[in-house]
């Protein structure tokens, strides 16, 4: 039998169709990323242990010192912001995975196969979206445990999670771009501190923008992270002091989240794939 | 396109910044043969293979695989080639079987075909028992075998192997050689790069010697060896022996220039074999007042080919 396997050009059925091929490639490579998680579940710490620690810290350490303009419980205020942070902060992980992948011979093999060129990065973002779903569930779970409650209907709740995941997914493409540009996994890891931590902290994710210095307020108000926090708080019926802020994204947070996410996707997804193709040809 | 050679390169140039990795590479690999690409570190072997496998875009010249241009018809080329790079191209966290199935699916096999192909290859390469283990637990030799297996999925017509045995112990190398020989029995065209002259000699029907990104000699191993003189005479001088006098004394017998070793204690020259040659040479050296410890005749190796073509040994170019 063995010679049959090795004889060249044996009539293997190659599936037709570019799009069908792309979908298969993405699915196969997504399973590859998920298999890695199955073997090393600790890689999920980013979307499980970290958000839990953040929620507990902010609730019990800083929370008491943070006043909510217009009143309301900090426990209820926090979760809308935490959701955005929990999801966006997976982007450095995406970057690390992409840098690591690009530095191995495996990518050479992928490139020598008749597979779709966009599949490698697309599969990475899909796998990371699935881990974000876990992250969202963890944030909601720990939220419920500390006394966060939702005061709206199922439609609003679904809309809030959908917006958060759209937002998180857009960030995975930012991570993919960083992964294509940066040279080492360490540098990719650093992007978490250099880019994503300020992005979260200079926003209304943890503290209302009203308490920030005047020059910083516009930055925080136009920060996409603030838009997501405001949108989630509004949709959950939680305290949302941003409703009193006049900046456009704070007045239309859902629209702002969609606009920011689509803009990020439109810019970063094609850019990442282009960088991949270019690197592919050395 | 039925008659196109397996691989054709015409004046392929590839630069990396200011380094010229390929400086006008010309190569024709007939179908169904094992072709050896032999050269020292930095000769451009990997660059050549990566260009043929559509991973690099050449800066000049053209390359075709089975008649398809590697730049303009890259997709077509990718559907007929298999590549085992210099460094293992496997997912460390997946099992061997999962790796092969993944590559199979990405090669556009159906799930059933990919599974069957993976099973067959694991058996063929003696990896069935370890098939469920993550690749990161594999030894270097197992990894190399699995890597080669992965490049066979989809039954490629042209296979590239970049230094398939570098870093393997002699036993694993012998296993690899057997596998490679069995492969070629099936009619696959194989382009093999190596730094080991012995390996090219053992496996390849034809060899291109490359150095500085260019082919400096091409032919069957036999042709290359006879080009440098089929037989070589080696003269070991006694300590303090007069090298110049020895070279002069050797001249009437040699078919080419004599080369002295770095310490000046060994001379080698191609010779045309005749009866009593060794004795005659010893007498001639004696008459010239050169003290020798040994005079011997041996068949030229590919190492000699390399040395006489490039002026440096194949194992490294320390003495530039
Ligand atoms: N990506 C790259 N960037 C810069 N220089 C490169 C790159 N790839 C190869 N080179 C250079 O091109 C030349 C040829 O390299 P190549 O890897 O093709 O040699 P090789 O014959 O495969 O050597 P080895 O036996 O060490 O694998 C070398 O001088 C190398 O430094
Ligand atoms: Mg090499």
Kindly tell me the sign of the dihedral angle through the C-alpha atoms of B53, A280, B107, B68: negative
Contact B253, B295 (CB under 8 A): no
Which residue of A114, A117, A127 to mutate against B (max B Cβ within 10 Å)? A114
Contact A277, A111 (CB under 8 A): no
CA-to-CA distance for B170 and B179, rounded, in angstroms? 14
Element of type H or E holding B260: strand B259-260
**Nearest-by-Cβ selection for A114 from B79, B94, B152:** B79
Q: Which residue has the tokens 């990020």?
A: A264
How many C-beta atoms surround the C-beta of residue B75 within 10 A? Answer: 12
Q: What percent of the residues of chain B are helix, what percent strand, and what percent coil, each to the nearest 5?
A: 35, 25, 35
Q: What 3 state SS string does B81-146 have?
A: EEEECCCCCCCCCCEHHHHHHHHHHHCCCCHHHHHHHHHHHHHHCCCHHHCCCEHHHCCHHHHHHH
Tell whether ligand 1 has an atom less than 6 A from the beta carbon of residue B46: yes
Q: Do A9 and B157 touch (CB under 8 A)?
A: yes
Element of type H or E holding B277: helix B277-287
Residues of B with Cβ-Cβ distance to A5 under 8 angstroms? 117, 120-121, 124, 152, 155
Structure tokens at B266: 């060994």
Q: Which residues of B239-264 are buried (b: 16+ CB within 10 A; e: fewer)?
A: eebbbeebbebbeebbeeebbbeeee
Confidence label for A11 from pLDDT (cuts 50, 70 and 90):
very low
CA-to-CA distance for B251 and B107, rounded, in angstroms? 60
**Res B135: pLDDT:** 94
Nearest CA in chain B to A16: B108
Give Cα separations from A281 to A99, B56, B103 (angstroms): 17, 5, 21
Going by C-alpha positions, the residue among A30, A52, A261, A246 that lies closest to residue A128 is A30
Q: Do the strands B7-16 and B206-211 form a parallel or antiparallel pair, or are they unpaired?
A: unpaired
A146-149: Cβ within 8 A, 24+ apart: A146/A55, A146/A56, A146/A59, A146/A75, A147/A73, A147/A75, A147/A76, A148/A75, A148/A76, A148/A78, A148/A79, A148/A238, A149/A76
**What tens digit of pLDDT does each residue of A108-167 get?**
899 889 888 899 999 999 999 999 999 999 999 999 999 999 999 999 999 999 999 999
pLDDT at A12 over 70: no
Element of type H or E holding B160: strand B158-162
Residues of B with Cβ-Cβ distance to A3 under 8 angstroms? 185-186
Mapped onto helix, strand or coil, the DSSP state of residue A201 is helix
What value does the mean pLDDT of chain A take?
89
Kindly tell me the sign of the dihedral angle through the C-alpha atoms of A193, A198, A203, A209: positive
What order do you get walking across the sheet with B231-237 strand by strand?
B259-260, B266-271, B231-237, B292-299
Chain centre distance of CA B142: 21
Tell whether ligand 1 has an atom less than 6 A from the beta carbon of residue B21: yes
Q: Do A24 and B105 touch (CB under 8 A)?
A: yes
Residues of B with Cβ-Cβ distance to A278 under 8 angstroms? none
Going by C-alpha positions, the residue among B208, B197, B206, B271 that lies closest to residue B234 is B271
Q: Do the strands B189-194 and B158-162 form a parallel or antiparallel pair, or are they unpaired?
A: parallel
Residue B83 dihedral angles phi and psi, to the nearest 5°: -135, 130
CA B48 to ligand 1 center in whole angstroms: 10
Residues of B with Cβ-Cβ distance to A108 under 8 angstroms? 50, 53, 55, 83, 85, 89
Q: Do A29 and B155 touch (CB under 8 A)?
A: no
Q: What angle do CA A29, A33, A38 make, to 5 degrees?
A: 135
Q: How many residues does chain A have?
A: 282
From first to last of its 320 residues, chain B has per-residue pLDDT tens of 457 899 999 999 999 999 999 999 999 999 999 999 998 888 999 999 999 999 999 999 999 999 999 999 998 999 999 999 888 899 999 999 999 999 999 998 999 999 999 999 999 888 999 999 999 999 988 998 999 999 999 889 999 999 988 888 888 888 888 888 888 887 889 999 998 888 888 899 999 999 999 999 899 988 887 776 668 888 888 887 788 888 888 888 887 778 788 787 888 888 877 888 888 888 888 888 888 888 888 877 777 777 777 766 555 433 33
Tell whether ligand 1 has an atom less than 6 A from the beta carbon of residue B86: yes
List, in order, residues 6 or more apart from A174 with CB less than 8 Å away. Answer: A91, A264, A268
Nearest CA in chain B to A282: B56
**Res B48: pLDDT:** 96
CA-to-CA distance for A108 and A207, rounded, in angstroms? 46
Nearest CA in chain A to B80: A9
Domains of chain B and any CATH numbers: 7-223 (3.40.50.300), 229-299 (3.30.70.980)
**What tens digit of pLDDT does each residue of A17-27 get?**
788 889 999 99
Closest atom, ligand 1, to C-alpha of B40 = 25
Contact B195, B164 (CB under 8 A): no
**Res B317: pLDDT:** 39
Residues of B with Cβ-Cβ distance to A111 under 8 angstroms? 54-55
Instruction: Give the bridge partners for B270, in sequence order.
Output: B232
List, in order, residues 6 or more apart from B314 with CB less than 8 Å away. Answer: B38, B39, B40, B195, B197, B302, B303, B306, B307
How many C-beta atoms surround the C-beta of residue B154 within 10 A? Answer: 27
Q: Do B124 and A5 touch (CB under 8 A)?
A: yes
B-facing residues of A in 11-40 (CB < 8 A) are 12-15, 21, 24-25, 28-29, 31-32, 35-36, 39-40
Contact B231, B300 (CB under 8 A): yes
């Amino acid at each position: 039998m063995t010679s049959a396997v090795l004889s060249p050009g044996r009539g293997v059925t190659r599936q037709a169709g570019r799009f069908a091929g792309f979908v298969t490639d993405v699915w196969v490579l997504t399973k590859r990323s998920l298999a890695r998680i199955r073997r090393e579940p600790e890689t999920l710490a980013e979307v499980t242990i970290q958000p839990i620690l953040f929620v507990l810290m902010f609730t019990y350490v800083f929370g008491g010192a943070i006043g909510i303009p217009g009143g309301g419980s900090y426990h209820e205020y926090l979760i809308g912001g935490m959701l955005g942070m929990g999801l966006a902060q997976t982007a450095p992980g995406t970057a690390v995975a992409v840098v690591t992948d690009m530095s191995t011979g495996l990518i050479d093999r992928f490139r020598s196969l008749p597979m779709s060129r966009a599949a490698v990065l697309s599969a990475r973002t899909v796998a990371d979206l699935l881990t974000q779903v876990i992250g969202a569930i963890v944030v909601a779970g720990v939220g419920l445990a500390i006394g966060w409650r939702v005061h709206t209907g199922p439609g609003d709740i679904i809309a809030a999670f959908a917006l958060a995941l759209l937002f998180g997914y857009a960030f995975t493409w930012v991570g993919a771009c960083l992964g294509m540009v940066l040279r080492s996994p360490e540098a990719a890891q650093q992007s978490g501190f250099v880019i994503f931590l300020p992005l979260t902290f200079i926003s209304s994710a943890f503290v209302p923008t009203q308490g920030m210095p005047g020059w910083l307020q516009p930055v925080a108000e136009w920060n996409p992270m603030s838009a997501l926090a405001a949108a989630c708080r509004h949709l959950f019926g939680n305290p949302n002091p941003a409703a009193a802020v006049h900046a456009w994204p704070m007045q239309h947070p859902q629209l702002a989240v969609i606009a920011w996410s689509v803009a990020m996707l439109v810019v970063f997804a094609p850019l990442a794939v282009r960088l991949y193709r270019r690197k592919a040809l050395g | 396109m039925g008659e196109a050679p397996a691989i054709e390169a015409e004046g392929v140039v590839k630069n990396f910044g200011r380094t010229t990795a390929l400086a006008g590479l010309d190569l024709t690999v007939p179908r169904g043969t094992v072709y050896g690409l032999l050269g020292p570190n930095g000769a451009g072997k990997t660059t050549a293979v990566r260009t043929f496998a559509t991973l690099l875009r050449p800066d000049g010249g053209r390359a075709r695989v089975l008649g398809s241009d590697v730049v303009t018809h890259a997709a077509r080329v990718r559907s007929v080639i298999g590549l085992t790079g210099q460094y293992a191209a496997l997912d460390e966290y997946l099992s061997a079987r999962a790796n092969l199935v993944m590559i199979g699916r990405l090669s556009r096999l159906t799930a059933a075909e990919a599974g069957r192909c993976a099973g067959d290859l694991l058996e063929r390469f003696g990896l069935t028992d370890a098939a469920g283990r993550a690749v990161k637990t594999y030894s270097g030799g197992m990894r190399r075998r699995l890597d080669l297996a992965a490049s066979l999925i989809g039954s490629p017509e042209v296979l590239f192997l970049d230094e398939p045995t570098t870093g393997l112990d002699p036993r694993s190398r012998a296993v690899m050689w057997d596998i490679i020989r069995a492969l070629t029995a099936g009619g696959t065209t194989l382009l093999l790069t190596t730094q080991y002259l012995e390996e090219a000699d053992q496996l390849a029907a034809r060899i291109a010697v490359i150095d500085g990104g260019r082919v400096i000699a091409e032919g069957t191993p036999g042709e290359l060896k006879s080009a440098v003189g089929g037989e070589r005479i080696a003269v070991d001088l006694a300590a303090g022996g007069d090298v110049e006098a020895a070279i002069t004394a050797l001249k009437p017998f040699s078919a080419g220039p004599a080369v002295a070793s770095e310490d000046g204690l060994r001379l080698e020259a191609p010779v045309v074999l005749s009866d009593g040659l060794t004795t005659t040479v010893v007498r001639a050296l004696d008459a010239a007042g050169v003290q020798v410890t040994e005079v011997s005749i041996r068949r030229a190796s590919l190492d000699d080919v390399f040395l006489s073509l490039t002026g440096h040994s194949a194992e490294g170019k320390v003495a530039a």
